[in-house]
Amino acid sequence: MTSVSRPSSQHSSHARPLRKVFVTGMGGQLARELVATAADGAEIVALDQSQLDICDRDAVLRVMHEVSPEVIFNAAAFTAVDLAEKESAAADRVNHLAVGFLAEAASVSGARLVHVSTDYVFDGLSPLPYQPDHPTAPASVYGRTKRDGELAALRAPDALVVRTAWVYAHHGKNFVATMLRLMHERDEVRVVSDQVGTPTSANGLARALWSLVDAGATGNHHWTDAGVASWYDFAVAIRDEAAALGAAKIGRARVTPIRTTDYPTPARRPAMSILSKDATWALIGPARHWREELREVLSRMELPR
């Protein structure tokens, strides 16, 4: 169990520090950033899968009764998009059924549930950014289970669902870490150029989640960094920013654009998954551009030379 108390004498950007917060999925990149960006004076109880199986209803209810949190952040998810096509029952247990248990626990204990969802709940066919109230139409098992999880979360009073996309951090397994490794190992990497969305720093997302809780937000909201990019654009930026930080070998890697049809996968990815953040940004302020966030994240990493 990870329990962190922030002394009230420290500086905080949060107006009203929460007394006790529960975070699932500890060890994952978002949960770690939620702990790192917690408000001064807040006590954070964060558990990983080995400490709490959120698919176990009795265990969830028992732990929530013991902790008695004001807010529950659900940062746990089955995120292996392609594996979900083969292991749909496992994906549904984590992304849907377990969220229902957390919603039940929140209802019983009087806590607010904050659930993190994904752009994959949409079909990716819209030429315009998806609004929070746009009808969902998932095209993959992962997207369907996350959509069903949203519906389960919203059964809890005052629940907040935040959809995001392309999340990465300076730690853990993510696209940035993968690209850095491949660019260091190879002369060329081939990256899909016809899937468009927005890279999102886990640190920026965590800060946004805290701000949304402070603002009393409920229902569906969207948050990503500002701007848009294809996966190819993102990869080129990773190479160039890493090179600017001294990773010379990475800077020499060639990034070649390919089409989705050139790299078939079991799960269909959204071609256009830009989320409209207007309402969220009006409430808590806008995000920084994704390239600024990328530069900051890379500066915190030990880059291969």
Q: Where do the domains of the chain lie, and which CATH numbers do they carry?
A: 2-172+199-228+274-288 (3.40.50.720)
pLDDT digits (tens, 9 = 90+) for 18-75: 679 999 999 899 999 999 999 888 899 999 999 999 999 999 999 999 999 999 999 9
Confidence of residue 16 (pLDDT cuts 50, 70, 90): low
d(CA 58, CA 28): 23
For residue 117, CA distances in Å to 73, 155, 180, 190, 220 come to 12, 15, 26, 28, 10
Question: What pLDDT digit, counting tens, does each position of 138-190 carry?
Answer: 999 999 999 999 999 999 999 999 999 999 999 999 999 999 999 999 999 99
- Measure CA 53 to chain center: 20
Q: Which of 120, 130, 142, 232 is catalytic?
A: 142
d(C-alpha 28, C-alpha 26), whole Å:
5
Across residues 210-216, what is the average pLDDT?
96
Give residue 12's pLDDT band: very low, low, confident or very high (50, 70, 90). very low
Q: How many CB atoms lie within 10 A of CB 262?
A: 11
- Cα gap 287→199, rounded to integer Å: 12
Q: What is the mean pLDDT of the chain?
A: 94
Active site residue 142: yes
How many Cβ atoms are within 10 Å of 229's Cβ, its own excluded? 21
Residues in CB range of 96: below 8 A, 6 or more apart: 145, 146, 148, 149, 152
Q: Taking 90 as the threshold, does the pLDDT of residue 5 lie above it?
A: no
What pLDDT sits at residue 71?
A: 97
Q: Are 52 and 31 in contact (CB under 8 A)?
A: no
∠ CA 141-143-144, rounded to 5° = 65
- How many whole angstroms separate alpha carbon 82 and alpha carbon 142? 8
| Structure tokens given for 2 | 């990870």
Residue 203 CA: distances (Å) to CA of 100, 165, 208, 250 = 26, 13, 9, 24
